Amino acid sequence: MPLSVSIPSHSPISSDFLHQLETIVGASGLLSAREDLLVYECDGYTIEKNSPDVVVFPTSTAQVIQIVQLCQRYQIPFVPRGAGTSLAGGCLPVGGGVLIALTRMRRILEVNLRDRYAVVEPGLVNVHLTNHLKGSGFHYAPDPSSQGACTVGGNFATNSGGPHTLKYGVTVNHVLGAQVVLPDGSVVELGGPCEDSLGCDLTGLFVGNEGTFGICTQITVRLTRDPAAYRTMLAVFNSVRDATQAISEIIGAGIIPAALELMDQGIIEAVEAAFHFGFPLDAAAVLLIEVDGLEVAVDDEATQIRGLCERVGAREVRSANSPQERTLLWKCRKQAFGAIGRLSPSYCTQDGVVPRTRLPEILDFILETSQKHQIRIVNVFHAGDGNIHPILLFDERDTDQVSRVLAASDEILEKCIELGGSVTGEHGIGVEKISLMNRLFSEVDLAVMREVRDAINPSGLCSPSKMLPTAGGCGMEHVEKKTPGRRAAL
């Protein structure tokens, strides 16, 4: 039978291999023309690009098994991909090979409210699950800002966060089990609807594996009761330091809001221009604070928070007076990055984390770094978690600016490590931060992680060159980092 798809001239894959792939997924489930592959040469991290040799769109676990077994037989690397919203190059097909796009496996297989779980396919868009549950009294708690596009499988692979993870936890806290096609083509069922599993917590180990442990084909997620009531507030400050002091006071007082987000003046300016919410343009920073829970309890917490903010110098604390106003506030926050284009032709976002009480120090440092390198930096981030997202604004056509942005980014992340934090709170290591792994972890730490990976992915064909630096190398052998990309962010 003649092939209905073309083989790129540069490709190491054979026509026989391609033919067998087509037999598995059908002609409509495969792309191999160079122009079609361009879409898949990177994800939300655009600094590094490399086209896969072929993209396949399986529709069942059985097809994924056959694809993986075929790749093993021909020794072709393969990489899973959800919506491609990763910000760290987790979906980058380093070395080419087969990109397994899971977007056609997007069914909700089961919803069980009595037992508080749902079983979904990995390509399901995050918000589609919560939309499906509307009116049931339950929701799926992890809510990355990209939830309108990102997939539950991608969230599983990167252990995604989001604004409401402050109270509800990140993806791993909501995953009960998974079906995974391992890199050798066998299938393993990890965990499941029963809350306790036999043996050690392999489900937890697999969450955040960044696609290096195989292809997740089903996920059992925990469903969370909807809060009975919300109180959403906007606290306005004349200095960033006052705002971070308020964060410290709120957490220090033992209050865990559902969300606690900071936007500084640069971001306020951009989102106000985009959404016309009525943000005070002369404010140095605002805190978006949400408490949720029982109607009888939220007012007490809101009053306490209001008092703490005012005590450290908030000039105003507004409350969202209607569900519509709350929705608009959250729209401003979640789409803040979309508004950055109004400030600069290019931008670069970092994802460092510091202990919550060190936020004033890291924000002072970011300001110093901005001045030192003459690069404008604006901030919008998950303040309650200490998870910063400094956004470095620049013009990528100016090579001098580019090198200053790279230097500033490195210095900020180094400072996060120095303050006892991490280089990534929710975006992942991918290929972007491989070079920083040696600074966070010792050689022994990394050796043990490599051994764990080798136990599950001994051939190394599944998502090669991700997360862990090569033993003894600097970790960036395959990457010549020259240009910070223009990125979306959480």
Partner 1 sequence: MPRPNPEVCPESSAELVAWMTANHSGPKRSVRALGGGSSPVWNSNPAQTACLLGTSRLNRVVEYPARDMTITVEAGISMDQLQQVLAAEGQRLPLDVPHSDQATLGGVLATNTSGCRRYGLGTIRDSLIGVSACDAQGRLFKSGGRVVKNVAGYDLCKMLIGSEGSLAIITQATLKVLPRPHSAGVVWVPLAALGDSEAVLASLVTTQTRPVAVEVWNRTAVDECLPEVTNVVTGPEGFVCIAFEGGDREVRWQTTKLSEELRQLRIDCESRLRSEATETLWADLNSFQNHRLPPQFKLSVRPSRIVEVLVKGTRLGFSLATHAGSGIGWGKAAELVSPSDFADRLSEFRQFVENLQGHLRWLGGSAVEGNPPAGTPLPAGTELLLHKLKRQLDPDGILLPGCPAISSRTP
Single out the residue of 423, 461, 489, 490 in contact with partner 1 (rule: CB under 8 A). Answer: 423
Work out how close the CB of 170 gets to partner 1 at its nearest, in angstroms, rounded to a whole number. Answer: 7
Assess contact for 266 and 342: CB atoms under 8 A. Answer: no
Please tell me whether residue 110 binds partner 1 under the rule CB under 8 A. Answer: no
3-class DSSP state for residue 44? coil
DSSP for 114-169? Answer: TTTEEEE-TTSBHHHHHHHHTTTTEE-----TTTTT-BHHHHHHHT---TTHHHH-
Single out the residue of 8, 192, 338, 360 in contact with partner 1 (rule: CB under 8 A). Answer: 192
Please tell me whether residue 109 binds partner 1 under the rule CB under 8 A. Answer: no
Residue 317 has phi, psi (to 5 degrees) of -125, 110
Please tell me whether residue 468 binds partner 1 under the rule CB under 8 A. Answer: yes
Complex with partner 1: residue 148 or 193, whichever CB lies closer: 193
Complex with partner 1: residue 157 or 393, whichever CB lies closer: 157
Single out the residue of 26, 95, 204, 360 in contact with partner 1 (rule: CB under 8 A). Answer: 204
Complex with partner 1: residue 92 or 247, whichever CB lies closer: 247
Cα dist. 490→78, 80, 90, 335, 470 in Å? 27, 21, 15, 9, 29
Work out how close the CB of 261 gets to partner 1 at its nearest, in angstroms, rounded to a whole number. Answer: 13
Assess contact for 130 and 459: CB atoms under 8 A. Answer: no
Assess contact for 178 and 216: CB atoms under 8 A. Answer: yes
Q: Output the six-digit token pair for 330.
A: 């959250």
Single out the residue of 114, 322, 397, 472 in contact with partner 1 (rule: CB under 8 A). Answer: 114
The CA distance from 6 to 490, in Å, is 37
Please tell me whether residue 390 binds partner 1 under the rule CB under 8 A. Answer: no
- Please give the residues from 291 up to 310 whose contact with partner 1 meets the rule CB under 8 A: 293-294, 296-297, 300
The CA distance from 18 to 12, in Å, is 11
Kindly tell me the number of DSSP H helices and DSSP E strands found in the chain.
16, 18
Range in contact with partner 1 (rule: CB under 8 A) among 3-11, 33-41, 108-116, 391-399: 108-116
Please tell me whether residue 476 binds partner 1 under the rule CB under 8 A. Answer: no
Single out the residue of 41, 115, 361, 418 in contact with partner 1 (rule: CB under 8 A). Answer: 115
Work out how close the CB of 140 gets to partner 1 at its nearest, in angstroms, rounded to a whole number. Answer: 16
The CA distance from 25 to 143, in Å, is 32
- Please give the residues from 343 up to 382 whose contact with partner 1 meets the rule CB under 8 A: 353-357, 382
Work out how close the CB of 175 gets to partner 1 at its nearest, in angstroms, rounded to a whole number. Answer: 10
Single out the residue of 22, 121, 143, 426 in contact with partner 1 (rule: CB under 8 A). Answer: 426
Work out how close the CB of 279 gets to partner 1 at its nearest, in angstroms, rounded to a whole number. Answer: 26
R_g of the chain, CA atoms, integer Å: 23
Complex with partner 1: residue 137 or 341, whichever CB lies closer: 137
Work out how close the CB of 105 gets to partner 1 at its nearest, in angstroms, rounded to a whole number. Answer: 20
How many chain residues interact with partner 1 (CB under 8 A)? 89
Q: Output the six-digit token pair for 100.
A: 């397994």
Range in contact with partner 1 (rule: CB under 8 A) among 24-32, 110-118, 144-152, 339-347: 110-118
Work out how close the CB of 195 gets to partner 1 at its nearest, in angstroms, rounded to a whole number. Answer: 5
Contacts of 359 (CB under 8 A, 6+ apart): 244, 247, 248, 383, 386, 388
Give the x-and-dash track for 226-265 against partner 1 (CB under 8 A).
Answer: --x-------------------x--xx-xxx---------
**H or E element in which residue 206 lies:** helix 202-206
Single out the residue of 66, 165, 218, 463 in contact with partner 1 (rule: CB under 8 A). Answer: 165
Q: Output the six-digit token pair for 291.
A: 């408490």
Single out the residue of 440, 470, 476, 478 in contact with partner 1 (rule: CB under 8 A). Answer: 440
Range in contact with partner 1 (rule: CB under 8 A) among 57-65, 124-132, 168-176, 238-246: 168-176
Residue 87 has phi, psi (to 5 degrees) of -105, 10
Q: How many residues does the chain have?
A: 490
- Please give the residues from 37 up to 66 whose contact with partner 1 meets the rule CB under 8 A: none
Please tell me whether residue 276 binds partner 1 under the rule CB under 8 A. Answer: no
The CA distance from 322 to 232, in Å, is 10
| Distance from the Cα of residue 174 to its chain's centroid | 15
